[in-house]
């Protein structure tokens, strides 16, 4: 069965993070079968909301996932994904990250 570029990227990123289908499904509030279909069906069309959740968990942007020509995640992509995740974090988590950066910047 031929898979989509999105499916190949999802599988590669998920496995690169050591996550099972179940784990990614839980973290993205999806079902295991939904994630499996995205990874394995030739035509995958996730909703913008699901794609956003998946991209956040995998540490990339939605644009990277949907771009069929790009296979490597750039540092800029990772930075954008990190900043989106940071922005949605709880205030106490953001404060911890800020303190960590202060220590590393010394």
pLDDT per residue as tens digits for the range 22-78: 999 999 999 999 999 999 988 767 889 999 999 999 989 898 998 888 777 778 878
Q: Do 44 and 4 contact (CB within 8 A), yes or no? A: yes
Q: Do 51 and 4 contact (CB within 8 A), yes or no? A: no
Residue written as tokens 């911890």?
96
Strands (DSSP E) contained in 1-106 are none
Domains annotated on the chain, with CATH: 5-104 (1.10.260.40)
Q: Residue 65, class by beta-carbon neighbours within 10 Å (0-12 exposed, 13-18 middle, 19+ buried)?
A: buried
Highest mean pLDDT among 20-24, 76-80, 84-88: 20-24
Against a cut of 0.85, is the pTM above it?
A: no
């Amino acid at each position: 069965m031929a898979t989509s570029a999105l499916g190949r990227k999802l599988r590669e990123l998920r496995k690169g993070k050591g996550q099972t289908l179940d784990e990614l499904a839980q973290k993205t509030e999806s079902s295991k079968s939904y994630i499996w279909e995205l990874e394995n069906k030739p035509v995958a069309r996730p909703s913008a909301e699901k794609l956003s959740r998946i991209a956040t968990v995998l540490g990339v942007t939605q644009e990277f996932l949907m771009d069929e020509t790009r296979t490597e995640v750039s540092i800029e992509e990772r930075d954008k994904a990190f900043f989106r995740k940071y922005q949605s974090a709880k205030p106490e988590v953001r404060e911890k990250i800020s303190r960590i950066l202060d220590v590393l910047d010394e």
